[in-house]
């Protein structure tokens, strides 16, 4: 008996149809899975790049940044990739105080092939205290300058700094003091106090400048200090192997050898009241919470802020600017020499904190 049944054919067609639907569903699922994996890889790459920028800011090294020539870039220390996600970070110096941190994040598969890459960048400005460099000494109390000492308002390049300083600029003021503060010069014709003019009064003193230096306050600066000192101290450069040892509180950089490992180290130094610097040399920003004495052959380049009296005696020298809320006493052969380069370098090297720039976050493919 012949049979012309269609069950088998129908079953096969049904199987084919269901198989086709299953294949379509699988393909669609696979497509969505791939799309999701790609989106995840892209997001991981962006996150890695953003983390690279954050890390570069958090681990900001003022020596690396300071030594970078304007227009030059350097690769920042790499971090090992985790789960195939990592970044390559670069620091580019755009100007004196302006930098660009760029990070390229990558996500790689287990076999090493690149799945996604993203680049982001951020502009960063170093934020230094706003301290004018047109005066040798800002004084809230009185000033006394004895015969063989001096306060000089002319701009000068500190010794050994000819190769790192531009030519000196126009003369500035010797002493800017509060109207109520007296200025006493114990020398013939007042020759120990020079400048153009040698002395002037500043009605804003003794208020604002000592409490608010631009956008910075002494408290903010102290929080960023590298060194905390008290009692008698003789600062000098210190090395750990071949590199500058920034852990030591008596290492205030090396102002006598700008090309040496500590030559670019300009720390913020917080000094307790009554600190005496009896010799040695240092540079940067010296913040004294009370009175401060520099004596012997001590030398300092940069900015000194004393919230009480500042005494310079013997052969002590300061190149830069001093801000004294109390009295400034300069005796012996001591010297306060205005130096715009000393101020600029002292503040640049010790410039903290980093300040974000408006519209500074850049998507940089």
Binding site for another protein (CB under 8 A): 21, 70-71, 92, 94-98, 100, 119, 121, 123, 125-131, 214-215, 347-348, 351, 357-365
Cβ proximity to another protein, 90 vs 297, nearer residue: 90
Nearer to another protein, 69 or 241 (CB): 69
For residue 121, the minimal CB distance to another protein (Å) is: 7
Closer to another protein by Cβ: residue 21 or 240: 21
The separation between the first and the last C-alpha atoms of the chain, rounded to the nearest angstrom, is 77
The Cα–Cα gap between 262 and 255 comes to 8
Alpha-carbon distance of 154 to 132, in angstroms, equals 14
State the minimum distance, in angstroms, from the CB of residue 212 to another protein: 12
In the complex, what is the shortest distance from the CB of residue 76 to another protein, in angstroms, rounded to a whole number?
18
Q: How far is the CB of 122 from another protein (least distance, A)?
A: 8
Cβ of residue 325: shortest distance to another protein, in angstroms? 20
> How many angstroms separate the most distant Cα atoms in the chain?
143
Tokens at residue 327, please?
Answer: 């009295």
> Residue 272 in contact with residue 290, Cβ under 8 Å?
yes
**Minimum CB–partner distance for residue 149 and another protein (Å):** 29
Kindly report the number of other CB atoms within 10 A of residue 157's CB atom.
19
Round to whole Å and give the CA distance between 209 and 222: 16
Q: Which is nearer to another protein, 105 or 129 (CB)?
A: 129
Q: Which is nearer to another protein, 30 or 96 (CB)?
A: 96
Of 192 and 351, CB closest to another protein: 351
Q: Which of 298, 297, 302 is nearest to 323 (CA)?
A: 302
SS3 of 175, please? strand
Kindly tell me the sign of the dihedral angle through the C-alpha atoms of 138, 193, 288, 229.
Answer: positive
Closest distance to another protein from the beta carbon of 364 (Å):
5
- Residue 10 C-beta: closest distance to another protein, Å: 10
**Selection from 245, 334, 358, 226 nearest residue 285 by Cα:** 226
How many CB atoms are closer than 10 A to CB 111? Answer: 6
Nearest to 153 by CA among 174, 167, 132, 179: 174
Q: Which residue has the tokens 């090297």?
A: 349
In terms of CB distance, is 192 or 343 closer to another protein?
Answer: 343
Alpha carbons 309 and 120: distance in angstroms, whole number: 49
Whichever of 42 and 222 has its CB closer to another protein, that residue is 42
């Amino acid at each position: 008996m012949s049979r012309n049944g269609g069950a088998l054919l129908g079953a096969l067609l049904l199987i084919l149809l269901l198989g086709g639907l299953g294949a379509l569903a699988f393909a669609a699922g696979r497509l969505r899975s791939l799309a999701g994996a790609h989106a995840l890889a892209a997001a991981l790459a962006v996150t890695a790049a953003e983390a690279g920028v954050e890390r570069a800011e958090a681990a900001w090294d003022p020596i690396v940044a300071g030594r970078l020539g304007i227009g030059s870039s350097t690769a920042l220390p790499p971090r090992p990739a985790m789960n195939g996600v990592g970044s390559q970070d670069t620091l580019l110096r755009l100007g004196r105080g302006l930098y660009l941190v760029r990070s390229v994040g990558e996500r790689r598969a287990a076999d090493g092939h690149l799945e996604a890459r993203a680049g982001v960048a951020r502009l960063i400005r170093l934020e230094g205290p706003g301290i004018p460099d047109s005066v040798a000494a800002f004084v809230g109390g009185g000033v006394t300058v004895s015969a063989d000492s001096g306060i000089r308002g002319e701009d000068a390049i500190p010794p050994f700094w000819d190769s790192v300083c531009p030519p000196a600029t126009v003369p500035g003021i010797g002493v800017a003091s509060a109207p109520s503060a007296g200025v006493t010069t114990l020398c013939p014709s007042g020759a120990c106090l020079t400048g153009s003019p040698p002395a002037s009064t500043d009605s804003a003193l003794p208020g604002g400048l000592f409490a608010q230096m631009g956008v910075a306050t002494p408290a903010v600066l102290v929080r960023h200090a590298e060194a905390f000192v008290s009692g008698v101290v003789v600062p000098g450069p210190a090395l750990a192997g071949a590199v500058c040892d920034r852990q030591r509180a008596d290492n205030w950089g090396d102002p006598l050898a700008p090309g040496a490992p500590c030559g670019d180290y300009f720390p913020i130094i917080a000094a307790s009241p009554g600190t005496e610097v009896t010799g040695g040399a240092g540079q940067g920003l010296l913040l004294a919470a009370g009175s401060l004495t520099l004596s012997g052959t001590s030398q300092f380049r940069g900015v000194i802020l004393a919230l009480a009296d500042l005494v310079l005696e013997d052969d002590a020298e300061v190149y830069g600017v001093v801000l004294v809320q109390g009295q400034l006493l300069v005796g012996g052969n001591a010297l306060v020499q205005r130096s715009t380069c000393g101020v600029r370098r002292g503040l640049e090297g010790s410039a903290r904190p980093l300040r974000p720039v408006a519209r500074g976050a850049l998507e940089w493919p």
